[in-house]
């Protein structure tokens, strides 16, 4: 898929997802956000950029600690939802921008901390976006990426299911790919954490917008994966409903001086 069509797919998908995405309990999980804050070292002097910020949940969490946060996203509906959440939280130190993240429309070394969450599996060229994040970060500043990750032996099957759920999904990176890119981009003092985020399948599907007929295909994939774990999600039954765990990576590093 070329970049223009892919961008259109993202806007189409996330215009509909803006409100339900922001209301998913897993997306505002305090322990996850606190871990991102702790790993980033965010403090009162930081100017932060949240890349592909979505409905602003992460940006608002960082704004409670940092000097100022800028959020940029391709989808206007996501930015509008972010503004609503900002008003609800009565935060004043945020700026929102609608725009593409490749390239980022900011000057070199414009931010002391550059972050992104749940985005790399939507990018056609995640390494190029990460390089842009490093470019706009100050020397000695920090860069943090949090996203889905899969071991290579599980990835292909998982990607099939994930593309059915969200047609804007591209490809899940392995832990080794994340770590190798961090090295190639010159990040120092790299710290990596792995966590699992539990989801209820039906709740997850209600916040998604698969193509017609694909929702039942997804349910079938999960039902058949119970006790097998070919998806790598540990799908299991709880009170008669299917639950699973997204495996996530948080990687934070410092840009060289």
Cis peptide before 103 (omega within 30 of 0): yes
pLDDT range class, residue 85, cuts 50, 70, 90: very high
Q: Which segments of the chain are extended strands (E)?
A: 47-51, 68-73, 94-98, 111-117, 137-148, 188-200, 236-238, 241-254
- Given a cut of 70, is residue 1 above it in pLDDT? no
User: What is the pLDDT, as a whole number, of residue 25?
Assistant: 87
Residues above pLDDT 70, as percent of the chain = 100
User: What is the pLDDT, as a whole number, of residue 257?
Assistant: 87
Q: Which domains does the chain have, with CATH numbers?
A: 3-151+167-197+247-254 (3.40.50.150)
pLDDT, tens only, 105-156:
999 999 999 999 999 999 999 999 999 999 999 999 999 999 999 999 999 9
Mean pLDDT, residues 62-74: 98
pLDDT, tens only, 15-62:
999 999 999 888 999 999 999 999 999 999 999 999 999 999 999 999
Report the SS3 class of residue 182: helix
User: What is the pLDDT, as a whole number, of residue 227?
Assistant: 95
Strand partners, 116: 145
Mean pLDDT, residues 232-238: 97
Mean pLDDT, residues 194-200: 95
User: What is the pLDDT, as a whole number, of residue 233?
Assistant: 98
pLDDT range class, residue 3, cuts 50, 70, 90: confident
User: What is the pLDDT, as a whole number, of residue 26?
Assistant: 87
Q: Name residue, tokens 């071991």.
A: 151
pLDDT range class, residue 2, cuts 50, 70, 90: confident
Q: With a threshold of 0.95, does the pTM exceed it?
A: yes
């Amino acid at each position: 898929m070329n970049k223009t069509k892919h961008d259109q797919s993202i806007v189409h998908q996330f215009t509909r997802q803006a409100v339900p995405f922001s209301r998913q309990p897993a997306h505002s999980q305090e322990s996850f956000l606190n871990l991102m804050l702790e790993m980033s070292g965010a403090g009162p002097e930081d100017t932060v950029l949240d890349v592909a910020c979505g409905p602003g949940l992460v940006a608002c969490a960082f704004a409670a600690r940092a000097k100022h946060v800028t959020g940029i996203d391709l989808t206007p509906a996501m930015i509008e939802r972010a503004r609503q959440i900002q008003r609800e939280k009565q935060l004043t130190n945020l700026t929102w921008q609608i725009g593409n993240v490749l390239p980022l429309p900011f000057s070199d070394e414009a931010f002391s901390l550059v972050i992104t969450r749940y985005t790399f599996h939507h990018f056609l060229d995640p390494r190029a976006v990460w390089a842009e994040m490093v470019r706009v970060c100050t020397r000695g500043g920090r860069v943090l990426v949090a996203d889905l990750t899969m071991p290579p032996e599980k990835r292909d099957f998982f990607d099939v299911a994930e593309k059915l759920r969200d047609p804007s999904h591209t490809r899940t990176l392995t832990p080794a790919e994340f770590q190798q890119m961090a090295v190639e981009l010159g990040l120092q003092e790299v710290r990596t954490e792995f966590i699992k985020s539990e989801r209820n399948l039906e709740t997850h599907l209600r916040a998604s917008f698969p193509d017609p007929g694909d929702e039942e295909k997804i349910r079938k994939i999960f039902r058949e994966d119970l006790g097998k774990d070919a998806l790598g999600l540990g799908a299991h039954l709880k009170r008669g409903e299917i639950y699973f765990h997204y495996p996530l990576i948080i990687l934070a590093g410092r840009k060289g001086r």
